[in-house]
A and B are shown apart, each in its own frame.
Chain A
């Protein structure tokens, strides 16, 4: 998170309310953080449905334990730590259960009510460029998905979610050196993968 240098926690007011039992205040916190939580989970796990479940579990866990939150880290960092850990657990479960329903990143994502999720930004470039971007997007996502779990985690947290090395180390409970080396290898792997699928850079 880019705001980690701030001294004050933007969420502290709502967190205080929640600690006192104000359930509605929690809703505001969910709305604020759910997108990033979901994207973190989704990019680590690879399945939208599972990511949605994990995010629900994560928020629920946050709520249940909010009284024990001491403010030693930003509230949001705490939330993301929980969602990252739950995502890792889910991934492990999926692997051992021979989970076959891996979401193909090529498929448009269908939501519960059947509508198709639009993934692309609203910039409206020309049709050709749109197609190219789409293709590139697909390839990039494939390359990320092809990473080993531990490499993908750090890549998602650093390059997609913008967490600092310290924060990543705290979330994953690994040393800074490990973060550095994993990130290096993750980026290397994606680079080599992209070279293969995109040709030259």
Chain B
């Protein structure tokens, strides 16, 4: 065998993975070839150096953090499935426990399972009511076009009442159930949750407030920042580009299995246009007549709603957030109630993270999405 071929096999020879006959050939060659012998020697020394590279120690908190995550995951699930599974992980350093990600879960199991809704109690009002005046029919638009940007803290029900007093905005036709094509950037700030609702029930389903409940429902609005001081990747301008190059799962987000449900959850953002570093206020409203269970999960594997950015192909791609495991707290969102969550577009992963500019939306699994909003570069 010639030197060149020998050299190519020397590495494997060192590891003793060659066939016997090859081994013999090499050894024969080495006996007489000084060059190759030196080569063997140098390669062995190199490997020796590599082996001297010291091992690092795992941080003292590593085991506990993993166990914490596992234990939270292993919690028995109460009642019917309510969790919203979202694919992003949240890993939070123990230090930054102060404000954590709050997960909003609805009743939808991420991706593959039929949605089931946990009902805290039976509705007090019969659903089928047809006689509401048309002005009320567009109630589902919490923030109609004409309303303009909403100030932080203003709650949805107050707005809804305002809406009712104004002339009704254009009413959407019955929500279709076909997979939604990617939305072009629109002025509409919200999108209805799609549900297969029989025509006769549409009016009622859109009721924001029911005749049987004259008083405005109580609003609870804990302002919770989704994450602060959490580490992860830094997102640069090239992120969108990178996402474009990655495979995407499916175009349609709003799909429902076909079960007739007259529940609705409405998600809206307070603005349509933000600057990098702004906080995005997300209002989740239970616009149905039944209670909806929310599991506020200060963390983990499955957090809250997904935050999605639109790629150049017009498809939606989830962005990853990192936070960590903590406590799950159950709350009931009564009909008409809202909650506001805040996505801080700066520092939500590591302190140097900032959301890249682009068109975004936030979705509660496949239940409901906010309208598209844009984040501009600073």
B374 shortest CB reach to chain A, Å: 21
Chain B minimum-CB-distance residue to A28: B63
Which of B46, B233, B234, B238 has the largest count of A CB atoms less than 10 A from its CB?
Answer: B46
Instruction: Decide if A56 touches B91 in the complex (CB within 8 Å).
Output: yes
Q: Is the CB of A184 within 8 A of B8?
A: yes
* Residues of chain A in range 11-54 having any CB-CB distance to chain B below 8 Å: 21, 23, 26-27, 30-31, 34-35, 38-39, 42-43, 48-49, 52-53
Q: Which residues of B line the A interface, CB within 8 A? A: 8, 10-12, 15, 17, 42-43, 45-47, 49-63, 65-67, 69-71, 73-74, 89, 91, 93-95, 231-236, 238-239, 241-242, 245, 301, 322, 352
Give 7 new A-B contacts, CB below 8 A, not counting A113-B61, A119-B56, A195-B42: A30-B62, A30-B67, A60-B301, A101-B234, A140-B50, A140-B52, A183-B12
A183 touching B46 by the CB < 8 A rule? no
For residue A172, CB closer than 8 A to chain B, the reply is no
Q: What are 11 sample pairs from A and B whose C-beta atoms fall under 8 A apart?
A: A27-B63, A64-B73, A93-B233, A97-B235, A111-B59, A113-B60, A144-B50, A180-B12, A183-B12, A187-B43, A188-B11
B62: chain A residues within 8 A (beta carbon)? 30, 34, 38, 52, 55-56
Is there an interface contact between A137 and B89, defined as CB atoms closer than 8 Å? no
- A129 and B233 CA atoms in complex are apart in Å by 38
Is the pair A98, B238 in contact by a Cβ cutoff of 8 Å?
A: yes
Asked whether A35 and B63 contact (CB < 8 A) given A60-B301, A136-B49, the answer is no
Q: Interface code A145-179, partner B: CB below 8 Å = 1, 0 otherwise?
A: 00000000001001110000100000000001000
Q: Which of A94-138 contact B (CB under 8 A)?
A: 94, 96-101, 109, 111-113, 117, 119-121, 136-137
Contact at A184–B56, with CB atoms within 8 Å?
no
Interface residue ranges, A against B (CB under 8 Å):
21, 23, 26-27, 30-31, 34-35, 38-39, 42-43, 48-49, 52-53, 55-57, 59-60, 63-64, 93-94, 96-101, 109, 111-113, 117, 119-121, 136-137, 140-141, 144, 155, 158-160, 165, 176, 180-181, 183-184, 187-188, 190-191, 194-195, 201
| Residue contact B50 to A117, C-beta cutoff 8 Å | no
B42: which A residues are within 8 A, CB to CB? 191, 195, 201
Assembly CA distance A131 to B334 (angstroms): 68
Contact A56 B57 (CB under 8 A): no
A21, A38, A195: the one contacting B56 at CB < 8 Å is A38
CA distance A187 to B86 in the complex (A): 42
Q: Please determine whether A183 and B70 come into contact, CB atoms closer than 8 angstroms.
A: no
Q: Please, which residues of chain B bring their CB within 8 A of the CB of A48?
A: 56
Contact A109–B56 (Cβ < 8 Å): yes
Are A23 and B70 in contact, with the CB atoms below 8 A? Answer: yes
CB distance from A103 to the nearest CB of B (A): 11
**Pick the contact of A42 from B43, B56, B74, B322 — CB < 8 Å?**
B56
Question: In the complex the two chains form, is A155's CB within 8 Å of B50's CB?
Answer: yes
Structural contact, B89 and A97, CB atoms closer than 8 A: no
Residues of B within 8 A of A101 (CB): 234, 352
Q: How far is the CA of A27 from the CA of B74 in the complex (A)?
A: 14
B234 touches A35 (CB 8 A): no
Taken together as a complex, chains A and B put the C-alpha atoms of A188 and B57 apart, in Å, by 29
Complex Cα gap A158–B15 (Å):
9
CB within 8 Å for A159 and B51 given contacts A27-B67, A30-B67, A52-B58? yes
Bound Cα distance A21, B70 (Å): 11
Cβ distance A93 to chain B, nearest Cβ, rounded Å: 7
Q: Which residues of B contact A38 (CB under 8 A)?
A: 56, 58, 62
- Contact in complex: A49, B52 (CB < 8 Å): no
Q: Closest B-chain residue to A43, C-beta based?
A: B53
A97 CA to B240 CA in the complex, in Å?
9
